[in-house]
Structure 1
Amino acid sequence: MTLRQDYFDDPSAWNALVDLLQDTFSIDVSILDQFDGPDPTSMPFGYFDADGRCVANFSAFSMPMIINGRVVKAAGYQSGAVRPEWRKRGLYRDLMQRAFSHTATEGYELDLLLTDKPALYERYGFRILPQHIFVAQTPTLQKSDLSARQLSLEAPDDLRLIRTLLQDRQPASAQFAVVRQMEMFLLNASFNSAIRLTALGDDTVAAWTFDGATFWLLDIVGTTIPSLATIVSALDIQPERIEICFSPDRLDCQVLLEPYDGYTMLMVRGKAAADIVGPLMLSPMAEF
């Protein structure tokens, strides 16, 4: 068995991780190959057997956040998996500690992860960060000067626009939001066919879903953040209920709170964790 790190420049090793995640979680991260490959900030740590199979992995990646108006150097952790026949040998613990040591050396001040097994990470100083859905009243619709155009990740011009705005975006919230994380946005949009990506003019993209009654606003990507009334008017919908899935402090709207009861829990640790003040939610488009 061979320990490898920072191995994404080896196509065979990357494909071996793709297979591990497909076999473990039934997710196909090879979709990232359509978008120039995996996150270049990612630092994977993995064990490989003699046949080149990835039998265990744990990865760290850069996920800069804005917290209470301050940009924070934050790291996310993902792609943690061990093949069944290699479990209970300490491999996962070993890889986690290597990843944690790497981000500590690099000076990250906040660590984040999503998990359905919080007890596994509490021993390493992580704590659960409660999340909330923000329920807004339907705003008074107004005539919109913004043209709304549905985008497709398969259309080169649309993908170019989305990537440009993700690179140059203003964080959707000043309280708690991702500053920049392109790969997870594109991957999450690809995983869920119900997610609509709509250009509002030339400098904003809304990620949203709508079932005819409830409108879920998942993220706003752009150089400016329009108000909720502007967004809903431009999309030309009349929802009975609006759920905002990120901190709405830049949307100029009044909201009520409901606890978010998701499958996974957001956990944090680090010196910047004490600065986080709720209520908040990590955009589903940034989930990892």
Structure 2
Amino acid sequence: MTLRQDYFDDPSAWNALVDLLQDTFSIDVSILDQFDGPDRTSMPFGYFDADGRCVANFTAFSMPMIINGRVVKAAGYQSGAVGPEWRKRGLYRDLMQRAFAHTVTEGYELDLLLTDKPALYERYGFRILPQHIFVAQTPTLQKSDLSARQLFLDAPDDLRLIKTLLQDRQPASAQFAVVRQMEMFLLNASFNSAIRLTALGDDTVVAWTFDGATFWLLDIVGTAIPSLATIVSALDIEPERIEICFSPDRLDCEVSLEPYDGYTMLMVRGKAAADIVGPLMLSPMAEF
């Protein structure tokens, strides 16, 4: 086997990781090739066999966060996988330790990961960060002056608008939110056909779903964050229930809390972890 790191500039190695993740998780991250490729801040660590197959991988990437009004240099970890025939040989532990050492050297203040196996990471100092859904009262609707237009990732002009706003966005929350992370937003939107991306005017995109009764507000990407009443009025819907899937401190609305019962748990460690206070939720559009 050959250990490789920072190998995303090699198309054959990137495609080998795509195959490993497809075989392990049944997800196709080659979709990122439609959006200028994988995150250029990524630092992948992988083992490759003599035939060039990626048999194990663990990737660190930059995920700057805003926490209580302060921008924090944070790292996320993803694409952790080992091929079935290579498991129980210590490869995953080895690659994790290399990735963790890399982010320590680079001076990251916070580490984040999502996992369904929290015990695996607790030994490395990670702790579970409880998440909550924010249930809002349906606001009084008003006639909206904002034009609402559905966007499509396969439409070049729409994609250009979304990417521009993702690059220059105001974080959706000042309490706990991603500052910049374009690739996961686009990938998550591609993976779930129920997610709608709607432009409100020229400077805001709302990610949402609606089943005719419940409205899920997943994320807001824009130069400013409109109120919940403005958003619902512009979308011209009358939901019976509203669930906000990120910290709603910029939405000018009253909310109640419900525990988030997701498949994976959000875990954190680092000196900035002590600054995180709930209740909070990481937007589904930022999940990694």
What interval of TM-score do these two structures reach, taking the shorter chain for normalisation? over 0.9
**TM-aligned CA deviation for residue 195 of structure 1:** 0.1
**TM-aligned CA deviation for residue 268 of structure 1:** 0.1
**TM-aligned CA deviation for residue 170 of structure 1:** 0.1
Which residue does the alignment assign to 1:256? 256
**TM-aligned CA deviation for residue 58 of structure 1:** 0.1
**TM-aligned CA deviation for residue 6 of structure 1:** 0.2
The superposition leaves residues 41-91 of structure 1 with CA deviations (integer Å, 9 ceiling, x where unpaired) of 000000000010000000000000000000000000000000011001000
SS of the aligned residue for 1:3 comes to strand
Query: Within 1, Cα distance between the matches of 2:52 and 2:208?
Result: 40
Which residue does the alignment assign to 1:48? 48
Which residue does the alignment assign to 1:275? 275
**TM-aligned CA deviation for residue 108 of structure 1:** 0.1
**TM-aligned CA deviation for residue 190 of structure 1:** 0.1
Query: Within 2, Cα distance between the matches of 1:175 and 1:3?
Result: 39
| Unmatched 5+ stretches in structure 1 | none
Query: Within 2, Cα distance between the matches of 1:67 and 1:75?
Result: 14
Query: Within 2, Cα distance between the matches of 1:52 and 1:161?
Result: 38
Query: Within 1, Cα distance between the matches of 2:46 and 2:216?
Result: 37
Equivalent runs, 1:180-219 vs 2, <5 Å: 180-219=180-219
Aligned: 1:81 with 2:81: yes
Equivalent runs, 1:57-68 vs 2, <5 Å: 57-68=57-68
**TM-aligned CA deviation for residue 259 of structure 1:** 0.0
**TM-aligned CA deviation for residue 243 of structure 1:** 0.1
Q: CA RMSD in A?
A: 0.2
Which residue does the alignment assign to 1:24? 24
Percent identity over the alignment is 95
**TM-aligned CA deviation for residue 272 of structure 1:** 0.0
**TM-aligned CA deviation for residue 112 of structure 1:** 0.0
**TM-aligned CA deviation for residue 122 of structure 1:** 0.1
Query: Within 2, Cα distance between the matches of 1:147 and 1:238?
Result: 17
Equivalent runs, 1:37-186 vs 2, <5 Å: 37-186=37-186
How many residues were matched structurally? 288
SS of the aligned residue for 1:15 comes to helix
Query: Within 2, Cα distance between the matches of 1:202 and 1:255?
Result: 28
SS of the aligned residue for 1:134 comes to strand
**TM-aligned CA deviation for residue 146 of structure 1:** 0.5
- Structure 1 runs of 4+ off > 2 angstroms? none
Query: Within 1, Cα distance between the matches of 2:157 and 2:12?
Result: 30
**TM-aligned CA deviation for residue 265 of structure 1:** 0.1
**TM-aligned CA deviation for residue 213 of structure 1:** 0.2
The superposition leaves residues 87-115 of structure 1 with CA deviations (integer Å, 9 ceiling, x where unpaired) of 01000000000000000000000000000
SS of the aligned residue for 1:215 comes to strand
Query: Within 1, Cα distance between the matches of 2:109 and 2:69?
Result: 15
**TM-aligned CA deviation for residue 140 of structure 1:** 0.3
Query: Within 1, Cα distance between the matches of 2:145 and 2:104?
Result: 48
**TM-aligned CA deviation for residue 201 of structure 1:** 0.4
**TM-aligned CA deviation for residue 283 of structure 1:** 0.1
SS of the aligned residue for 1:92 comes to helix
**TM-aligned CA deviation for residue 219 of structure 1:** 0.1
The superposition leaves residues 127-169 of structure 1 with CA deviations (integer Å, 9 ceiling, x where unpaired) of 0000000000000000111100000000000000000000000
The superposition leaves residues 226-271 of structure 1 with CA deviations (integer Å, 9 ceiling, x where unpaired) of 0000000000000000000000000000000000000000000000
**TM-aligned CA deviation for residue 33 of structure 1:** 0.1
Query: Within 2, Cα distance between the matches of 1:109 and 1:246?
Result: 22
In the superposition, the TM-score normalised over structure 1's length comes to: 1.00
